[in-house]
Structure 1
Amino acid sequence: MASKDELACVYAALILADDQVAITDDKLSTILKTAKVSVEPYWPGLFAKALDGVNVRDLITNISNSAGSAPAAGAGGGGAAPAAEEKKEEKKEEKKEESEESDDDMGFGLFD
């Protein structure tokens, strides 16, 4: 679970991203001081380094788009996917049966 310090930095970073301002250590610290939220001194720097060169707006937008489209892409296969899975299962069963028979042919089993 996220700590209070982490959440405060996330919200400060989102405020900066919403205003289309570069996310830096100083700007995160300024927002946190203005909001009268005290955090460990390393958190703003950590978030600034992690988000350096990252477009937070695109990141948030892409997360919501990919989460919604992933199941749709998987379901688009229709009836072809189940048929392929059945064939794979049949092949696996055949291989298992062959390996069991080969052990019996040699004259020894697992518990002999």
Structure 2
Amino acid sequence: MSVAELACSYAALILYDDGIAVTAEKIAALVKAGGLTVESYWPSLFAKLCEKRNIEDLVMNVGSGGGGSAAVAVSAPAGGAASGSATAAAPVVEEKKEEPKEESDDDMGFSLFD
């Protein structure tokens, strides 16, 4: 994220938090008061975003992320198997994450209550 994007994001959040209407002029004024200079299109882009979206929803859903990855289904080719051999779908192999071993204080030669 560029400095201009961050400055406009923070300015829009400040305006929203104070209950002030988020406009391009007010975003530009806050950015200028912060001692930064941004291209003139950044404040207008963020103002248009704030008009179309509810900022509270954007803030509250920031950690929700996108959808999970979908499993890929392997299908047999259409039209039958070639040369009399049947093709089987490859089994889906799940990768198991190896959990890190927890280190205990006893292994280090001291504990919390020594």
Q: 1:33 to 1:39 in 2, by over 3 A?
A: same
Bigger helix fraction: 1
Runs of 4+ in 1 over 4 A off after TM superposition: none
CA drift at 1:59: 1.8
Structure 1 residue runs of 5 or longer lacking an equivalent are 72-84, 106-112
Measured on the aligned residues, the alpha-carbon RMSD in Å equals: 2.7
Does 2:54 correspond to 1:55? yes
> Identity of counterpart residues, as a percentage?
39
State TM-score, norm by structure 1.
0.56
Larger relative contact order, structure 1 or 2 (CA cutoff 8 Å, min sep 6): 1
Contact 1:23–1:48 at 8 Å: present in 2 too?
Answer: yes
> Once the 2 structures are TM-superposed, how far is the Cα of residue 23 of structure 1 from its aligned partner?
1.0
* Structure 2: unaligned runs, 5 residues or longer: 85-114
Q: Deviations over 1:34-58 (max 9, x none)?
A: 1111111111111111221422112
Question: Residues of 1 paired with 2:60 and 2:20: CA distance?
Answer: 17
Quote the Cα distance in structure 2 between the aligned partners of 1:53 and 1:104: 59
Distance 1:29 1:39, change over 3 A: same
